[in-house]
Amino acid sequence: SQKIEQNSEALNIQEGKTATLTCNYTNYSPAYLQWYRQDPGRGPVFLLLIRENEKEKRKERLKVTFDTTLKQSLFHITASQPADSATYLCALSNFGNEKLTFGTGTRLTIIP
Amino acid sequence: DAGVIQSPRHEVTEMGQEVTLRCKPISGHDYLFWYRQTMMRGLELLIYFNNNVPIDDSGMPEDRFSAKMPNASFSTLKIQPSEPRDSAVYFCASSFERGGHLNQPQHFGDGTRLSIL
């Protein structure tokens, strides 16, 4: 069955460092991969979308890579700040299918 | 612009009662999704609609769950009868097909926290 794993439940990073989160998948050939941020008591908020034919996408301090050979996406936050503390979710979908399958999330804490 | 609006934000009810969750998507969006989030299972898609028509309800756990979208600006998720294992946070999300391109980002509401006693 399809499986999406995010590297760890919780990750603590020192402020100013780069935070790297991992999303691995098996038994899946997604055409799109999205990353969302979720704060306590709130709904997920979209951050970035990357397509299978794209290797890398950037938005301000955020960078996402998508390696379909390794079946892995890396999500980087550079110059991390305490305000970046949240749970980050990866989500996969197939071409032409709006159905998103979410990973279990990684709770990121940036330590001042 | 107003985002996705869900009501109520919190619902506590006794087992066996009917529960109705409500969602108003973002105006102009043509896809609407219902999700359930628990610690054990994470965020799971229950059902989604396109232009008010249900497209995929394979995630609906059982016949006690039903969802409707009578018009483009309103959807409901009903549980009847409710059971303690239905306790979770239920999210509604919407998106729109931009220029014929599918797989667009989804915009989530802040959810309904449901507790069945």
Average pLDDT over residues A5-34: 91
**Region A54-75: what's the mean pLDDT?**
94
Selected residue with higher pLDDT from A95 and A43: A43
Residues A14-30, mean pLDDT to the nearest whole number? 93
Q: Do A100 and B91 make contact, defined as CB atoms within 8 angstroms?
A: no
- Write out residues in chain B with pLDDT < 50, as ranges: none
Q: Is B6:B69 a contact under the CB 8 Å cutoff?
A: no
- Structural tokens at position B4: 């996705």
Q: How confident is the model at residue A9 (pLDDT cuts 50, 70, 90)?
A: confident
Average pLDDT (A27-56) is: 93
Flag whether pLDDT at A96 surpasses 80. no
Which residue, among A98, A104, A107, would best test binding to B if mutated, counting the most B CBs under 10 Å from its CB?
Answer: A98
Q: What pLDDT does residue B104 have?
A: 85
Q: How far apart are CA A92 and CA A27, in angstroms?
A: 12
Of the candidates A31, A95, A102, the beta carbon closest to that of B42 is on: A102
- Give the CA dihedral B30, A28, A32, A46, nearest 10 degrees: 70
**What pLDDT, on the 0 to 100 scale, is given for residue B100?**
63
Q: Is A30 on the interface with B (CB under 8 A)?
A: no
* Cα–Cα separations (whole angstroms), residue A66 to A1, A26, A101: 21, 14, 16
Which residues of A fall within a CB distance of 8 Å from B95?
98
Rounded CA gap, A17 and A26, in Å? 30
* Best to test chain A binding among B43, B89, B91, B108 (most A CBs inside 10 Å): B43
Asked if pLDDT for residue A82 goes beyond 90, the answer is: yes
Residue A31 has pLDDT above 90, yes or no: no
Q: Which residue of A has its CA nearest to B4?
A: A43
Which pLDDT belongs to residue B73? 95
**How many angstroms separate the CA atoms of A90 and A72, rounded?**
11
